[in-house]
Amino acid sequence: MLMRLLSGFAITLALSAAACAEVRTVDLNELKLTSTQRQATTLVTKLLSRHHYKKMALDDRFSAALLKRYLEALDPNRSYFLRSDVKTFEIYRYKLDDMLHRARVEPAFEIFKRFRTQVDTRTKYAISLLAHPFNFTREEVFAFDRIEAPWAADEKALDEVWRLRVKNDILSQRLAGKKPDEIRELLTKRYERLALRVQQLNANDVFQIFMSAYGRTIEPHTTYLSPRSSENFQIRMRLSLTGIGAALSTENEYTVVRHIIPGGPADLDKTLKVDDRIVGVGQEDGEIRDVVSWRLEDVVQLIRGEKGTAVRLAILPKSAGPGGKRHRLRLVRDKVNLDEQAAKLDILDEIPGAPGKRVGVIELPTFYLDSGGRSRGERNYRSASRDIRRLLEQLKEEPVDGIVIDLRGNSGGSLDEATDVTGLFIDTGPVVQMRYSDGRIQVKKDNDRGVAYSGPLIVLVDRFSASASEIFAGAIQDYRRGLIVGEPTFGKGTVQHFVPLDNYAERGQEGLGSLKLTVAQYFRVNGESTQHRGVIPDILFPTALGAESVGERALDNALEWSKTAPASFAPANYKPSLVDDLKVRHEDRVNADPHFQYLVEEAKVQQESGERKSLSLVQQFRENEQANREATALARENKLRVHKGLTPRDPDEERDREVMEKEEKILGDAVLREAAQILLDILSLPNGNSEGGSIVLAPG
C-alpha cells in the first residue's frame, strides 16, 4: 500500500504533464532516450551524490534497489508484469548504477514498453470478460492489495487475477444499485481510460517516472520533475485556484484526499476526510461521472470551477473499506479563506468537574507568514506569531486559568514562524537545529527576551501535526514549558530544496526539468530528531490507534530517527511524578467517558479497515457485511447521542446541515475537552503551577 502511494505520486506527475499536452497516443518508437535527458541524468546524478542529505553509494546494491523500485512504480499491485518479464529485466539488476554514471538509462524505456504492452493486453481482456456472466454465490476472494504477492507465473495466472478483479468491479457496481447495461458501459470506459492514460505517456513522462524512482530509492521526498511538470508545479504554488480546498493524489487507480486545506470549503464542511477516495464527480445538475482510473488532472478539472457554483462528489470513505458503501457530498466552490487559516481564539468555561474555571484555546491551522508584506516593509503584515501575540494579550484581559494550543491537523508552514511562536512562551534560546549534508549545523534561536505568556500550557497534537508543528511542540517539550498531549505527530523532520536543472546546464542547454532533493534534517534542542518518530506526547491519548500507519514511519525508505549533540539551553526542572499523576487522572477519565470510547471504537474500525487486503465475492455476504457495518456504526453513534441528550438518528433520515452543526456543538470536541481537563489537573496538583514563572510545572 505504501509503495503504491509513492509510485502513484510519480506517475501522477507524469500524467499531470500529459494532461496539459495535446491528447494523443504515443507511438512506441518515440519512447527513447534523448540528448536532453542524458544531460539531465548527468546533473541529477551529480546533485544527488554531492548534496543529498543521505549519502548513498551509486553501486550494485543501489542498482538492485532501483530496479525493484522502478518496477513497483510502474506496477505496484503486480497486475501487469509476469514473472518471466521480471526475470528478463534481471539483466539490469547490477547495471543501472553504471548506466546512470554514463547517463545511459535506455533500460527504463525498454521496461516501460513491455509494461505498456501488458496494460493493453490486460485491459482488452478485462473488457472481454464483461460479456460473460459471473456467479456471485460462488465462494471466491478478491485480493485487492497485491503489493507483496508474487509476480504471476504465466498468462493463465494473470488472467485469473484479472477475472477476480473484474468480478469485484461488477459486484461493487451491483451493490451500488447499477443495472447490468450501466455496469458494462461504465466499466468498459474505465478500462479503456486505463489503457489510454498509459498510451499517452511520452518519453519525458517515462524518463520522469524512472528518475523519480531513482530519487525515491534514496528517500521518499526526493523526486525529479520533467520540464512540463516543473512548470505546472510552479503555477500551482503561485496561483490560488477555486475548488474544494483539498490536496489530491493518485493511489493505484483512485483519486485520494491527502490533505484538507484549512479555510477551504472541504475544511468548513467537515465531511470529507483524509484518505477518502473520490470515485465520482458531478456538477450541480446532471450525472455524477465515474472517475476511477482517470488522470488526476482530469479529476481536478472537473472539481474546479467558478466561485459559488456547486460540485457533487461520490466518496468511498477510508473507514468503509474498498467494498464499502459510497456516499455523496455537495460542496460550493470557493477560494481558500485566509481568515479561516488564521489563529482562532475560543474559551472553554463549561468544563465538567471544574466550575468557574476557564481555559483559553488557540487553534492554529498552519504557521503562516505574509513574506511578501514583510519584505516590502509593511507595518501590519500577517503572521502566526503576530496574531497569537495579540490573542495572548486578549486572554490576559479575560482572564483564563491556562491555555491550550491546538495544533491538530497543522501540517507546518514557515520555519521562522515556528521559531517566533515558540519565542512567545520561552524567554530566549535555541528552538531548532538543522544539520546539512556537509555536516554543518545551523541553529534557529529566539533572541527576543521576555515571554508573552507564562502560565500553564498544553499543546494538543495529532498524527497530522507535521514539520513546523513538530518543531514548536518539540521545543515546548524540551524546555518543559508545557505538556504535549494527543497522538504521536507525523514525523516530517527533513528539509527539501527545489532545484531547476537549467541553472546548472551548459550554455544554451535548457528544458532539463527540476529536482526536489532533501538537503537537511531537523533536530530538537535536546539533540533528538523529529524525523520518523515525530514528537511523542507526554500524555498519549487512546485515539492514537493506527497512528503508526500515518506519516514518515509509514513511508517505505524514509530517513530513520537519529540524534546529534544537544544545543545549549536551560530546561526547567520538574517532578516526573506530577506527569504520572496526570496520566492516572487522564486514564480514569477517558475510560469512563462514552464520547472518548466512541472515538476509540472509530479508531479501531479505521485501523482494521486499513489492514484489510481482500474481499469476498459472494454478493449476499458483502450485502450482509455492509449492512452490519452500517448498523454497528449507527448503534455506536446513537449510544453517544443518547448520552449527550440527543434523539437517536434514523438511518434513512435526511440530515439538514444547520441541524448537524447544532448537534455537533452539543456533542462537543471530546479530545479538546480532555486537553483542557489535563491543564486544570495541573493546577489542582501540589506544586503543579509556577506563579509568574515561565514553566508549567514547578521546579523539583
CB atoms within 10 A of CB 253: 17
CA 587 vs. chain centroid, Å, equals 29
The CB-based long-range contact list for 318-322 (8 Å cut-off, 24+ gap) reads 318/273, 318/274, 318/275, 318/276, 318/277, 318/606, 318/609, 318/610, 319/273, 319/602, 319/605, 319/606, 319/609, 320/609, 320/629, 321/609, 321/612, 321/615, 322/144, 322/612, 322/615
Q: Closest Cα to residue 341, out of 257, 423, 473, 245? A: 245
Tell me which of 406, 478, 538, 681 is the catalytic residue. 478
**Residue 55 among the catalytic residues:** no
Phi, psi of 273 (to 5 degrees): -120, 155
What does the block give as the cell for 57?
A: 553509494
Cα-Cα-Cα-Cα dihedral sign, residues 203, 204, 205, 210:
positive
Instruction: Calculate ∠ Cα 370-377-261, nearest 5°.
Output: 5
How far apart are the C-alpha atoms of 534 and 538, rounded to whole Å?
A: 13
467 is catalytic: yes
Q: Which of 467, 529, 616, 694 is catalytic?
A: 467
Q: How far apart are CA 346 and CA 34, in angstroms?
A: 59
The Cα–Cα gap between 463 and 549 comes to 10
Choosing from 462, 492, 669, 681, the catalytic residue is 492
How many Cβ atoms from other residues are within 10 Å of residue 404's Cβ?
26
Amino acid at 259: H
Question: Residue 21, Cβ neighbours under 10 Å: how many?
Answer: 12
Look at the block and give the residue holding cell 551524490: 49
Report yes or no: 161 and 150 within 8 Å, Cβ to Cβ.
Answer: no
- For helices 594-611 and 670-684, the axis angle rounded to 10 degrees is 130
Kindly report the three-state secondary structure assignment for every residue of 631-681: HHHHHHHHHHHHHCCCCCCCCCCCCCHHHHHHHHHHHCCHHHHHHHHHHHH
CB atoms within 10 A of CB 689: 19
Tell me the chain's radius of gyration from C-alpha atoms.
27
> For residue 686, what are the CA distances in angstroms to 25, 382, 579, 697?
74, 41, 12, 10
CB within 8 A of 517, min separation 6: which ones? 47, 48, 51, 52, 215, 222, 496, 497, 499
Q: What nine digits make up the cell of 115?
A: 509494461
| Beta partners for residue 251, in sequence order | 254
- HSE-CB at 330 with a 13 A cutoff on CA atoms is 9
Supply 105's cell numbers. Answer: 538509462
DSSP calls for 253-315: TEEEEEEEPTTSHHHHH----TT-EEEEEEESSSPPEE-TT--HHHHHHHH---TT-EEEEEE
In whole angstroms, give the CA distance from residue 557 to residue 355: 51
Q: Could you count the other beta carbons within 10 Å of the beta carbon of residue 287?
A: 9
Q: Which helix (H) or strand (E) holds 595?
A: helix 594-611
User: Whole-angstrom Cα distance, residue 559 to residue 418?
Assistant: 22
What are residue 402's DSSP bridge partners? 359
Write out the catalytic residue numbers: 467, 478, 492
